Structure 1
C-alpha cells in the first residue's frame, strides 16, 4: 500500500470511528435530556447554562490553539510535546483561579446566588482539561481515532450515569455539575491510558515559541468566531423581543447544534491527515477536493432536504404552534450547507500553518456577517435569517480566492465539486418540497415527510445517471470502502 493509500485509509477509518462516536454521543445527549429533564427543573438547567457560558470562553484560552499547533507541526519532538503539556496545564490552573474568583461578580450580576458554588466547583474542569489537552493532540497526531472515539463515548456514558444517580439522590442542579466533572475526569483517565506516555520536565532547550505563536492566532480567531456567533442573537433580542428570539433560537438549534456536533469532530480527522500530506501537492489537493465532496454530499444534501421539507420538519419537531419558524429553518439549512463547503478552507489554513492569515480572513468574514445580519434586520426577523444565509454565500468564494493567493489550492476542482453538489442537492430538495407540500394538507406532517423523502430518493437516483455526478458517487463509494476495510 502506497503512502497516499495509507493516508486515505487512515482518513476514511478515522471518519468512520469519529462519526460513529459522535452519533453515539448525540444519542447519549438525547437520553440525558429525556431522563434528567424528568428529574430536574428548568431552573437547574438555566443555572448550568449561565455557568457554561463562562466555561466556554475560558476553554478558548485554556487550549490556546496548542492542540491544532501540535497536530499540524511537521516535526514535534518529545521535549516540545512535554513543554506544551505544561503550558496547557499552567493555563488550565490559571483559568481555574480566575473562574473561582469570577464566581462572585457573576453570581452578583445575575442575581443567582447558587452560581457562586457552581462556578467555583466547575473551575476544576479547567485544570483537568488542561492536563488532557496534549494527550488528545498526540492521539490525533498519531491518527489513533478509534482510541479517541472510545474515550469520548466512555466518558459521556459514565458521566450520564453519575448525573442520574445524583439526581435520584436529590442533588438538584449539582447533578449537572457532577456530569460535567465526571465527563472531564473520565476523559482524562482514558486519554492517558491510550496515550501511554508521561510528560517530562519543562525545558527551554526545546523551543515552542513558533507553536505558541501559531496557537495565539487561533485563540484570537476563536474569540472572534465566538463573538460573531452572538451577533444575530443580540440583534434579534434588541430589535424584535423575546418571542421572536425564541422562534429564531429554536430554528437555529434544530440545524446548527447537530451540524456542529458532526462537523467539528471531523476536523480532528482531517487536520492530521492533511498535515501529513502537505508536502505532496497532488496528494494534498486530492484529499482537499475529496473532503469537500464528502462534506458536501453527506451534510449539504440532507440540509437542503430539510430546507425543502421545512413545514413537516417544524410540525414534527416543534409542533404546529411554531409555524412561524419555517422560513427561518429554511434560511439556517441553506446557511449550514454553505458553511459546510467553507469548512474545508479552515482545514487548509490550519494544516498549512496559516494561522495569521486565518485570523485576517476571520476578521473579514465576521465583518461581512455583521453587515449582512444588520442590513437584513431592517426587513424583520426573516431578514436576519436571510442575511445569516447570505453571508456564507459571499464568504466561501472569498475564502477560496484568499487561500489561492497565499498557498497552492485546487481552485477549479473545488468550485466544480461545489457546483455539482449544490445543483444536485437543490434539484433533489425541490422535488422533496413539491411532494411534501402536496401531501401536507391532505395527509399530515409524517406522511408529507415520508413522501418528500421518497421523491428525493427517486430524483437522486435519476441524477446519479449524469456522468459527473456518477463519478462523484464512485469517489464517495471508494471512500466508504476505505472506511470498512481493516
Structure 2
C-alpha cells in the first residue's frame, strides 16, 4: 500500500477511534458527575474558546491552505502562535476574578487559570499540526490525536471515580493538549527558525487576519447560547444544555473539522495545477451531508429514549435541546463545503463580509429563543444554521462565480429524505408506544435508516448520486480524489 493510501486509511480509522473516545467521554463522565459540574466548566469554556481564537486568529488555516509555505514562513507562524497562546493564557488567568463576579461563582477563580494552560500549550502545537498535514503525515496526526485523547479520558475517569468532581473535567483537556504537543514535537523533529520580517509572511498574515475576523464573528454566534444560559439560569441548566450540545457536535467535529486538514491542501494543489474542484466539491457535499444527516436523523427521532439510555435518567432535561439541535445538524455539511470554496477561491475577505451578515443573525435568533428556556435557545441556533445555507449560496454565486443552484439541488437530495424519514419514523414510534428505552432506540434507528435511503433512492437520480458517493469513499481513504 502506498504512503498516501496508508495515511488516508489511518486518518479514517483514527477519526473513528477519536469519535469513540469522545462518545465514551460523554457517556461515562455524564454518569459519574453532576450537570452542575459540566455547567461550571462550560462557563469558562466560552472564554477559553475566545482565547484560542485570539491565539490563532486564522494563522493555522492560512498556513494550511497556502499553495506554498516556506520554512521561514512556518517558523514565523510558530512563534506568533506560541507568543499569543502564552499571552491569552495569562490574560484569562488575570480576568478570572471578573468571571467569578460575572457568574456569581467563586469556584471559577481557580478553574479559569487551570484551564488557561491549554492555551499556551496549544499555541505551540498549532503549527506542528499544520506541518504534519502539509507533509501528508496523516498517520502521525491520527495516532497522536487518539493517544492523547485516550490518555486524557483515562485520567478524567480516574478523577471522577475518585471524587474530584468538576476538576476531573478541567484536567482532561490539559492532559490531552500537553501530551499532543510532546508527541507531535518528537515525531516532527522540526526546529523553527528565529522569527524574521519579510519572506512574504505579511501576505499570509493578512489572509489569516480576514479568516480570524470571520472566526471571531463565528465565535460570538456559536457561544452566545452558552453565555446567556449561564448568566440567566446558572450552572445547572447550562450543564443540561452543554451535554446536549456536546453530544450534537460529536459527528460534526469528528468528521468535518479533521477533514478540512486533508481537503484544503489537496484541493489547493488541484487548483494550482489548473484543475476545477467544483465537481468534486459537489460529490463531497452529497457524501458528507448524507452521512451526517443519517446520524442526526437517528439522534433526532430516538432522542426521547436515546439520551436516558446513554447518560441516565438524570439528564432528561437535555432531551428537548438535543433533539432540536440534531434537526439543525441536517445542514452541518453545507456550511463547511461553502467555507472551503471561499478559501480555495482566495475570497477570505468575502468570507468575512458574509459572516457580518449570518453571525449577527444567529446571535439574534438565539436571544429570541431565550424566553422559551434551553430548548428555545437550541431552536434559535438550529434555525440560524438552516437560514445561513441559502445566504452562503447566494454569496458564493455573487463573489466566486459558483453554480449555487447545483449545490442547492445536491443539498435537497439529502434534506428531503431526512425530513420525510423523521416525520414517518416519529409517527410509527409514537403509535407503537414501546416500553423501556432500548427497544424504541433500536427500532427507531432501523426505521429512520430504511425511510431515509428509501426516499433518497425514490427521488429521480437519487440512486446514481448514492452510487457515486459510495465510489467516492474509497478514493477519500486512499487520498486519490483528484487523480
Q: Normalising by structure 2, what TM-score?
A: 0.84
Q: What pairs up with 1:68-467 in 2 under 5 angstroms?
A: 68-107=61-100, 115-163=108-156, 176-232=169-225, 251-279=244-272, 283-314=276-307, 316-317=309-310, 328-375=321-368, 385-439=378-432, 441-459=433-451, 460-461=453-454, 463-464=456-457
- Report how many aligned residue pairs link the two structures: 477
* Superposed displacement of residue 153, structure 1: 0.9
Does structure 2 retain, via aligned residues, the 8 Å contact 1:72–1:271? yes
Change in CA separation of 1:116 and 1:230 when aligned onto 2, cut-off 3 Å? closer
Unaligned runs of 5+ in 1: 1-5
Q: How far apart are the structure 2 equivalents of 1:384 and 1:177?
A: 26
Change in CA separation of 1:190 and 1:352 when aligned onto 2, cut-off 3 Å? farther
- Stretch of structure 1 that moved more, 357-366 or 241-250: 241-250
Does structure 1 retain, via aligned residues, the 8 Å contact 2:361–2:384? yes
Q: How far apart are the structure 2 equivalents of 1:13 and 1:472?
A: 27
Q: How far apart are the structure 2 equivalents of 1:376 and 1:122?
A: 30
Change in CA separation of 1:387 and 1:178 when aligned onto 2, cut-off 3 Å? closer
Question: What is the aligned partner in structure 1 of residue 56 from structure 2?
Answer: 63
* Superposed displacement of residue 290, structure 1: 1.6
Change in CA separation of 1:120 and 1:462 when aligned onto 2, cut-off 3 Å? closer
Question: What is the aligned partner in structure 1 of residue 462 from structure 2?
Answer: 469
Change in CA separation of 1:166 and 1:322 when aligned onto 2, cut-off 3 Å? closer
Change in CA separation of 1:202 and 1:325 when aligned onto 2, cut-off 3 Å? closer
Does structure 2 retain, via aligned residues, the 8 Å contact 1:48–1:173? yes
Change in CA separation of 1:336 and 1:134 when aligned onto 2, cut-off 3 Å? same
* Superposed displacement of residue 329, structure 1: 4.1
- Stretch of structure 1 that moved more, 207-216 or 407-416: 407-416
Change in CA separation of 1:374 and 1:186 when aligned onto 2, cut-off 3 Å? closer
Q: How far apart are the structure 2 equivalents of 1:377 and 1:178?
A: 31
* Superposed displacement of residue 279, structure 1: 3.7
Does structure 1 retain, via aligned residues, the 8 Å contact 2:251–2:292? no
* Superposed displacement of residue 245, structure 1: 6.7
Change in CA separation of 1:359 and 1:191 when aligned onto 2, cut-off 3 Å? same
Query: Aligned to 1:482, which of 472, 475, 482?
Result: 475
Change in CA separation of 1:299 and 1:195 when aligned onto 2, cut-off 3 Å? same
Change in CA separation of 1:15 and 1:308 when aligned onto 2, cut-off 3 Å? farther
* Superposed displacement of residue 73, structure 1: 0.9
Q: How far apart are the structure 1 equivalents of 2:437 and 2:222?
A: 32
Change in CA separation of 1:171 and 1:383 when aligned onto 2, cut-off 3 Å? closer
* Superposed displacement of residue 120, structure 1: 3.8
- Stretch of structure 1 that moved more, 41-50 or 288-297: 41-50
Q: How far apart are the structure 2 equivalents of 1:376 and 1:465?
A: 37
Change in CA separation of 1:163 and 1:329 when aligned onto 2, cut-off 3 Å? closer
Q: Deviations over 1:87-106 (max 9, x none)?
A: 11221232233234334544
Change in CA separation of 1:15 and 1:394 when aligned onto 2, cut-off 3 Å? farther
Change in CA separation of 1:457 and 1:127 when aligned onto 2, cut-off 3 Å? closer
Q: How far apart are the structure 1 equivalents of 2:299 and 2:118?
A: 37
Q: How far apart are the structure 1 equivalents of 2:322 and 2:162?
A: 40
Unaligned runs of 5+ in 2: none
Larger Rg: 1
Q: How far apart are the structure 1 equivalents of 2:114 and 2:367?
A: 39
Change in CA separation of 1:391 and 1:131 when aligned onto 2, cut-off 3 Å? closer
Q: How far apart are the structure 2 equivalents of 1:330 and 1:34?
A: 17
* Superposed displacement of residue 60, structure 1: 0.8
Q: How far apart are the structure 1 equivalents of 2:120 and 2:368?
A: 42
Change in CA separation of 1:193 and 1:381 when aligned onto 2, cut-off 3 Å? closer
Change in CA separation of 1:381 and 1:56 when aligned onto 2, cut-off 3 Å? closer
Q: CA RMSD in A?
A: 3.7
1:229 counterpart SS class: helix
